[in-house]
């Protein structure tokens, strides 16, 4: 019995000591840089700042969504030796994805996922996951810029002049040259597919099984649309993101299509409108950064 009580009191003492442990960085400075209030979670050595999206009025299938239901942006900081680590999740409406992503990349953060958490909601809400390592205040400043960009003014309405594949007038030869890949042009859509391979469950999978990068274009050489998917190794994701954003192409999803594959692969979906040659050049710049080419 004595041993049991002794262990209990020892555990209580350790818990109390952990709770009293001060944060290893200036939490007030992190709050100021991030523009959000934080909480010190001593048990895990983490300082977490949160930005509830009280500015949004989101309804999904008649249900009014509030910040505790998942509409809160956050970032958690932890000290690891001489450097700090940050991980976070940012709530963004569709029109603020590109500005928030640009803020993250220019601030030295990595964007590691972009997806939805709800279905049928109005307005459409996306979730962008970020991470980084380095000086805590530098990371907090980058997080603050991302938080601010996610709450910026609504983007201008999209142009109303439609692009219809039935009226496409693209130059496939010029696009072949611009992309450095031979494409197919049929039914008003010019499309390229570049395959690569991976192993999953002991089997080798290739392009026909979905392990490929592709791009589809419609419209005219003066004004076209492009949408597609880039498959890449994890280490290639950040350079590809930067290449596409530099070309003015929007990233609309970052996720996985497989589990347990070798090498680990990430899939990125994109969308853009502009001169066909410029879009093709942007796609080529991203493709060049993957080991598929």
Using alpha carbons, select from 223, 215, 222 the residue that is nearest to residue 270: 215
Q: What is the DSSP string of 136-163?
A: HHHHHHHHHHHHHHHTSPPPPPPP-S--
What is the predicted pLDDT for the residue at 245?
98
- pTM for the whole thing? 0.88
What is the predicted pLDDT for the residue at 3?
53
R_g of the chain, CA atoms, integer Å:
23
- Give start and end residues of each alpha helix (H) in the chain: 2-20, 27-34, 97-106, 136-150, 172-179, 237-246, 276-287
Phi, psi (degrees; rounded to nearest 5) at 140: -65, -40
pLDDT averaged per 10 residues in sequence order, the chain, 293 residues = 48 49 89 97 96 97 96 96 94 96 98 96 97 97 98 72 93 98 97 95 94 97 97 97 98 96 96 97 97 64
What is the predicted pLDDT for the residue at 155?
67
What is the predicted pLDDT for the residue at 80?
83
The structure tokens listed for 170 are: 């693209």
What is the predicted pLDDT for the residue at 157?
64
Q: How many other C-beta atoms lie within 10 A of the C-beta of residue 264?
A: 13
Rounded CA-CA distance 192/227 in Å is 11
């Amino acid at each position: 019995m004595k041993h049991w009580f002794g262990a209990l009191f020892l555990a209580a003492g350790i818990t109390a000591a952990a709770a009293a442990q001060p944060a290893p960085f200036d939490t007030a400075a992190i709050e100021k840089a991030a523009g959000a209030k934080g909480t010190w979670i001593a048990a895990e050595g983490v300082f977490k700042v949160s930005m509830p999206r009280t500015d949004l009025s989101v309804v999904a299938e008649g249900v009014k969504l509030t910040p505790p239901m998942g509409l809160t942006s956050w970032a958690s900081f932890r000290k690891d030796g001489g450097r700090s680590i940050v991980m976070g999740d940012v709530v963004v409406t569709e029109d603020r994805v590109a500005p928030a992503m640009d803020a993250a990349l220019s601030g030295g953060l990595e964007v590691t996922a972009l997806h939805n958490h709800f279905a049928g909601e109005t307005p459409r809400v996306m979730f962008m996951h970020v991470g980084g390592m380095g000086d805590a205040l530098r990371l907090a400043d980058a997080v603050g810029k991302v938080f601010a960009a996610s709450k910026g003014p609504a983007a201008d309405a999209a142009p109303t002049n439609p692009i219809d594949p039935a009226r496409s007038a693209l130059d496939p030869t010029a696009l072949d040259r611009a992309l450095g890949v031979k494409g197919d042009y049929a039914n008003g859509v010019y499309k390229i597919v570049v395959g690569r391979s991976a192993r999953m469950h002991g089997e080798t999978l290739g392009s026909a099984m979905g392990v490929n990068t592709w791009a589809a274009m419609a419209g005219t050489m003066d004004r076209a649309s492009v949408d597609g998917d880039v498959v890449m190794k994890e280490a290639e994701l950040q350079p590809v993101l930067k290449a596409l954003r530099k070309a003015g192409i929007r990233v609309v999803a970052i996720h996985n299509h497989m589990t347990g594959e070798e090498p680990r692969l990430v899939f990125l979906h994109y969308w853009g409108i502009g001169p066909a040659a410029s879009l093709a050049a942007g796609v080529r710049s991203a493709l060049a950064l993957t080991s598929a080419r």
